[in-house]
């Protein structure tokens, strides 16, 4: 699945969060089409 297809599959009031707990720094990204 391509990146654009993944973004298009998230609709409605869905929030997806990914966390890499092995990192020393953490970043968050909010995508709002």
8-32 pLDDT, tens digit per residue, is: 877 777 777 777 778 788 777 777 6
| 14/24 Cα distance (integer angstroms) | 27
pLDDT of residue 32: 67
Q: Give the C-alpha separation, 8 to 2, whole Å.
A: 10
The shares of helix, strand and coil residues in the chain, as percent rounded to the nearest 5, are: 20, 0, 80
Sign, CA dihedral 11-33-18-5, equals positive
Cα–Cα distance, 24 to 3 (Å, whole number): 26
The pLDDT score that the predictor gives to residue 3 is: 84
pLDDT at 33: 63
| pTM of the full structure | 0.32
């Amino acid at each position: 699945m391509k990146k654009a297809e993944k973004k298009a599959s998230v609709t409605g009031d869905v929030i997806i969060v990914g966390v890499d707990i092995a990192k020393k720094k953490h970043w968050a990204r909010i995508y709002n089409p």
